[in-house]
Chain A
Amino acid sequence: MELVLIGLNHRTATVELRERVAFSAEQARTAASQLRERGILEETLVLSTCNRSELYGVPPEEAGNSVADLEGFLASFHQLPLHELNQNLYRHRDREVVRHLYRVAGGLDSMLLGEAEILGQVREAYRAALDCGATGPVLNRVFQGALEVGKRVRAETDIGTRPMSVAFAGVKLAERIFGSLKDHRALILGAGEVSEQVVDHLGDRGIAALRMANRTPERAKELARRVGAEVVAWEHLDRALDWPDMIVTSVASPEAVLTRAMLAQAMEARGNRALFVIDLGVPRNVEAGASELYNLYLYNIDDLREIVEQNKKARQAEVPRAEAIIEEHVEKFFVWRAGVDTNEVLKSLRERLTEEREIFLRERLAATPHLGEAERAQMSALLDDFLNRVLLDPAERLRGERELRRKLQNLEALRDLFRLDQRKP
């Protein structure tokens, strides 16, 4: 029941190599099927995202160097020279496999610490492997644990809560003011790249209505068409300011596009309902004095960058708590596996001793031909009773052992002393 993993990610391989080693959904199914057909793995799962390609598996008990077999398979599957692949791969066994996967699911191994997408990708990879019957009891358990870890890390730590991009920080700040954005409206001035990102995030958060204005109307129309927004003529901007609850501006302009007077007028027209203004322009698009207006919240690009920096540090500070959750689940997995192991070892031990009993009886009874059938049966039954009595107490103690390390040591000792592993075909 050993676990193995080989893979590469954004830390060990260049994007070019990652692209060459990536698996499409169809390729992942084919690879999983080939790995089992060739007897390299009994259970297998391929996890492939833009930042990583990983092969998880449980090799057969009699397998020799399964990691080397996996490397060879990966190289041949993607038609790459083995030496080129080898220097970019990481290889893990057993406990390290589980820990690595749980870190991946928790977003700790991601390029953007704590990103949420990876959990969905792990779920999808697991579902695909499960559907094609590539996983078994061990991988099922490990991946179900990984999904639980991912959920717990995000629910119980702040690793994924605080925004890590300027655009998302702006939208999250809007939610700190308005709560749900479903009843609020936004006006976008300018059609820069960050504005586009803000618009996408606003769409994701269900903003009620969007309007756009740009000096070049064609660009505004194009973006507006894509996101389902209305276009406002640039010349009528001052009249459009009392409509939105949020204004995002990123206009290339040497002087302020929104003056304090314009915004004061807008605030008056909207009865001083809160207005959130994100100024992404450099130089700034909003006159600095506007931030003093009552119920107007003004953030410029530097404010948002500073928030993102603070959030990065805060996410980093959450890592120990996430690691603690991961360790808890790694331990949980091995407790489960030790439980499964105990039953297997006890079963093997009983089979082994039953075989010995057969040999012993055969030898001894051969030397005593005068014994009748009934006496022979009685001796056999007596030996059965004796075996049961001898095994009962150790079996109970082994099952009841709470300390994992001691349990594993005892199991290992039994395997070793009775040569249980050598009995397997």
Chain B
Amino acid sequence: MANYFVPATSIVYAISLALYVWYLYAPRIAVGYGATLCLAAGLALHYLALLQRSRMIHAVPYDDLAGSLSLFAWLLAATYLALELWHRQRTVGAFVLPVVLAVFLIAHRAAGSPVTPAPAKGPIFAFHVTLNILAYAAFALSFVTSLIYLMQNRLLRGRKLGAIGWRFPALDVLERVSRSSVGVGLVSLAIGVCLGFVWAHRLFGGYWHGDWKVFVTLVILAAYLAYWVLSRTGTWRGARASRLCVANFLLVIFSYSIVNLYLSRFHRFF
């Protein structure tokens, strides 16, 4: 059975991306609203696509790489939409939507191989996985805003703002969005990891099994905690903290790809 929500979601996300880029170039109010509405519609369709896929494979979305990536893209889009509405700042959309769309497309291109459901089930396990993916989505958002910060900082220091520099959000706003995303990510990851330990104890009778995934996740937690603390200190505040945030996200990508696929023993795709 074909999942028609996948192409529909791709099209709506692509339209939303086009509108965000258009908005960045020519900030028309109607275009901005259109971009946001398309993103909201894309989120709804994306949700239905996840639901449909879960029904088709009789597994939760995070049981395989495709579902896990797709859920990541959905949470990233949802987190971004919430922050856009909170900060009333649309210019970042043109940079977040390509990530959402790319991850979504990769996820659904990768889908196909049969899924073996994970041995673990239940609400604690579901929260463990979902909160960890939410954390990664929030870190992805902070990565994008940190990148924009570095670009804007470079333009300002070079004294050549050009067309784009006048449209980027202020450095202060970018710094705050980045910090708040990391805050959301840290809380989600901390709770997610704790729930993971609880589940591991239930499943194997112990908390620690020397899995690479757990180790790398704890390193990520420590790295973002370091960012959280350092970004408020005189030496690190500003561009240095943004560079640290970008570097931290490389760890997230490492965990999500190499560790998930080749190093982890019982963490599969999340």
Contacts and interface: CB of A to CB of B under 8 A. Distances in A.
Interface of A: 155-158, 161-162, 172-173, 175-179, 268, 271-274, 291, 294-295, 297, 299, 303, 306-307, 310, 314, 321
20 contacts: A155-B28, A155-B29, A156-B26, A156-B27, A161-B166, A173-B161, A176-B168, A177-B156, A177-B170, A179-B172, A271-B234, A272-B237, A272-B238, A274-B172, A294-B240, A295-B237, A295-B238, A303-B159, A307-B159, A310-B162
Contacts of B157: 291, 297
A124 to B, nearest CB: 24
Contacts of A303: 159
Given A156-B28, A314-B163, A176 B234 contact: no
Interface string B148-173: 00001000110101110110111111
Interface of B: 26-29, 152, 156-157, 159, 161-163, 165-166, 168-173, 233-235, 237-240
A297 B238 CA distance: 12
Contact of B173 (A179, A295, A307): A179
Given A158-B163, A303-B159, A176 B171 contact: yes
Contacts of A156: 26-29
B28 A176 contact: no
A403 B166 CA distance: 41
A309 to B, nearest CB: 12
Contacts of A177: 156, 170-172
Contacts of B162: 310
A275 to B, nearest CB: 11
Decide if the interface of chain A is mainly helix, strand, loop or mixed: helix
A297 B165 CA distance: 15
A176 B161 contact: yes
Contacts of A273: 234, 237
B233 A271 contact: yes
A272 B234 contact: yes
Given A176-B165, A177-B156, 19 more contacts: A158-B26, A176-B161, A176-B170, A177-B170, A178-B170, A178-B172, A179-B169, A179-B173, A271-B234, A271-B237, A272-B237, A274-B238, A291-B157, A294-B238, A303-B159, A306-B159, A307-B159, A310-B162, A314-B163
